[in-house]
Amino acid sequence: DHVTINVPKVSTYTSHSWYSILATMKQQKRVGWLNNSIKQFFDLGSGFVCNSYNCRDSASLSQPGLCGLSNLGNTCFMNSALQCLSNTPPLTEYFLEDKYEAEINQNNPLGMRGEIAEAYAELIKQMWSGRQSHVAPRMFKTQVGRFAPQFSGYQQQDSQELLAFLLDGLHEDLNRVKKKPYLELKDANGRPDSEVAKEAWENHRLRNDSIIVDIFHGLFKSTLVCPKCSKVSVTFDPFCYLTLPLPLRRDRLMEVTLVYADPQRRPVQYRVVVPMMGAISDLCESLSKLSGVPAENMVVTDVYNHRFHKIFQMDEGLNHIMPKDDIFVYEVCKPSEDGSEYITLSVYFREKTMRQSSNTAGTILFGQPLLISVPKHKLTVDHLYSVILEQISRYVKLPLAEEHSTPCPDKGTCNGSNGVVEGDFEEMEHQDGGQEGKEKVSEVDPCHSDGCMQTESAKDLQPCKKQHFTFSLVNSSGTSEINSIVEGKILKVNAFSALAIDWDSDTRRLLFDEQEAQAFEKHASMLQPQKKKAVVALRDCIELFTTMETLGEHDPWYCPNCKKHQQATKKFDLWSLPRILVVHLKRFSYSRYWRDKLDTVVEFPIRGLNMSEFVCDPRAGSYVYDLIAVSNHYGAMGVGHYTAYAKNKVNDKWYYFDDSSVSVASEDQIVTKAAYVLFYQRRNGE
């Protein structure tokens, strides 16, 4: 049997849609099924996958190195890292000239029996053959997954972590040292830095001697000072790449809308400054200073689609609030001096509709939800009706005739339905002559007769007013009723229980002022021009890296003089730098309360990066570097997409590598907030 495959369609699907489909499936937790499907899809054969990708630009197929890499399913991180390494001239020349064959170390217990080096060599030869516009690095991924299980599946990973594994794996597979000698580390003990550094580098080369060390390894100087006895410890340690911290902003701007307890005041939008790693209580304190509303009277909510998506606790971290969230802060009542206990309720607006398909009744949410505080002993339908009517009086205008309605002729409950259904309530206690019972009853004035509800004392008739909406006790999203409500009885509800007030379409259209309901005012803080996002220079990151810091209490240093762990001061300096300098910008930050990606733009030079001023070896030569590759990450932490910019060593032109696609790039496109790992090559003769 023969199967006809439309190659262009497969190409379009795999190169443009595959990533978004994977991301969606990942969010839906369909990982097991996804991994299975991907494996079956790509097990159709390497020839099919390779031929199912087309280069999207006019890059010449005969140009060595301009070869895309097929996305095997969330492998863009691997493709980005490989394109950077592929465009590192001394490493690629080493493999293309087959120099690696004589240096494969199959017996190194720390290596991978030479299999990683051989798989990488085969892939590089394909990419630089000039015969293919793209290749599928399936065999290479399989070998990597065998020795590093974290990269074996189809989950999104970190390109820098893969680079670290590859450089270490290639080093051990190509280590020229067959039997590593045992060496004891020695402290400086007052000896000159040059002597200690030379000793450290020689000891390193006695155990580690490979093309990776030749090209990528440099030397740190680490200085530790004990705060108690002032003991100074100086050591020199090799490194394969520089991980540079980015200057962190200590605060963030948030836009929130304050809904006042005064029903006649429009909501006001504020822009507040809060600590980057602060809590909801910090947001309330900042807002209190601008608005005058006590912080303890605030409830912070995330409103989405006419309902409360989340109601925050005061001790929750602000990292749970994303920049695009609609944050509404409600002013609510707190217990009064007489000790009355208040219950805060969520109130949703719903319109009653008829489903045409089934001819059954339904509801749809509309408007801005409310938070109201009611004394627990007054939790009756009658009292709630009057409280809500007052809260919405700014944008729900009652007819003038209802201001002077006539008393209901009958005592008690009139005939006719008020739309309130029965449910779980507590009977109100009414003792004859009891003052408390009289007060409760006299406070509520709605009555019903032909759609009108009344409650009156034994002596006086109360005005009869039409009830414009009915109540339901609903779930937190307002979509389904979980209990019913009976008039004249105390509700059994908890804090932040949700009530729905249901309107018929005609009443909503006549009384509900949509424009006024959505109206808000802007505080002066919203009118102040926002500061532009800070732009950080690469040298700022290097200076921050070499700044002295005090070790944390969970990361102390053992002082040999004090014979105990101390929170010493620590300082890193650069003693010597490699031919290829790999700079990892630490964009992903982690803490107990905060996990985020820093989108700060780091300005780095395309050519002429002078690192000489940061090298502390007084006898060092000039260290001037030119950029040769960049690994980019777009999106948030844990998701997103990786690409690469790289300079072709044959024609010295820049190209953009996006999985199987290769296109020409210009230098002004390279410096972006997506830049994650930078590759610099030291100038010849430096």
User: Are residue 206 and residue 260 in the same domain, yes or no?
Assistant: no
Tell me which of 491, 508, 526 is where a domain ends.
Answer: 526
Question: In this structure, are 139 and 67 located in the same domain?
Answer: yes
- Give pLDDT, residue 532: 64
Could you list the beta-strand ranges (E) of 564-636. 564-566, 569-576, 580-586, 588-590, 595-597, 601-603, 607-610, 624-634
Handedness of CA 468, 471, 474, 480 (dihedral sign): negative
Q: Do 161 and 305 fall into the same domain? A: no
Is residue 381 located within the same domain as residue 496? yes
Question: What is the total residue count of the chain?
Answer: 686
In this predicted model, what pLDDT tens digit does every residue of 263-301 receive, in sequence order?
889 999 999 999 877 889 999 999 999 999 999 889 999
What's residue 682's pLDDT?
A: 95
Q: State whether 264 and 203 are in the same domain.
A: no
Task: Kindly state whether residues 518 and 646 are assigned to the same domain.
Answer: no
76 is catalytic: yes
Q: How far apart are CA 320 and CA 254, in angstroms?
A: 12
The reply to whether 413 falls in a domain is no
Lowest mean per-residue pLDDT among 79-88, 200-209, 290-299, 586-595:
586-595
Under a CB-based contact definition with an 8 Å cutoff, are residues 2 and 54 in contact? no
Which carries the bigger pLDDT value, residue 494 or residue 526? 526
Q: Is the pLDDT of residue 465 over 70?
A: no
Residues 233 and 284 in one domain: no
Catalytic member of 55, 67, 76, 240: 76
Q: Do 241 and 111 fall into the same domain?
A: yes
In a domain, 625, yes or no: yes
What tokens appear for 34 in the block? 């996804």
In the prediction, which pLDDT does 487 show? Answer: 59
**What tens digit of pLDDT does each residue of 99-136 get?**
999 999 888 888 888 889 999 999 999 999 988 889 99
Q: What pTM does this model have? A: 0.61
Q: Which of 114-128, 318-332, 499-513 has the highest mean pLDDT?
A: 114-128
Distance of alpha carbon 202 from alpha carbon 200, whole angstroms: 6
Query: CATH number of the domain that 369 lies in?
Result: 3.10.20.90
In a shared domain, residues 145 and 108:
yes
In a domain, 409, yes or no: no
Same domain assignment for residues 564 and 666: yes
Of 480, 503, 526, the last residue of a domain is 526
Choosing from 458, 491, 526, the residue where a domain stops is: 526
One domain, residues 181 and 269: no
Task: Kindly state whether residue 495 falls inside one of the protein's structural domains.
Answer: yes
Does residue 592 fall inside a structural domain?
yes
- Other CB atoms within 10 A of residue 613 CB: 10
Quick one: average pLDDT of 355-365? 72
Tell me the residue range of the domain where 501 lies: 251-354+362-395+467-526
- Number of domains forming the structure of the chain: 2
Residue 400 falls within a domain, yes or no? no
Catalytic residue selected from 217, 584, 633, 641 = 641
| CA atoms of 285 and 1, how far apart (whole Å) | 73
Q: What is the CATH number of the domain that holds 550?
A: 3.90.70.10
For residue 486, what pLDDT band results from cuts at 50, 70 and 90? low
Q: Whole-angstrom Cα distance, residue 145 to residue 140? A: 9
Kindly state the tokens that stand for 272.
């507040």
Q: Who's near 443: CB < 8 A, 6+ residues apart?
A: 378, 382, 383, 386
134 within some domain: yes
Antiparallel, parallel or unpaired: β 360-375 and 425-427: unpaired
What contacts 270, CB < 8 A, 6 or more positions away? Answer: 255, 256, 257, 258, 287, 290, 291, 523, 525, 526
Half-sphere exposure of 158 toward its Cβ, with a 13 Å CA cutoff?
A: 15
- Confirm whether 604 is domain-assigned: yes
Q: Mark whether 586 and 517 lie in a shared domain.
A: no
- Do 510 and 395 touch, CB atoms closer than 8 A? no
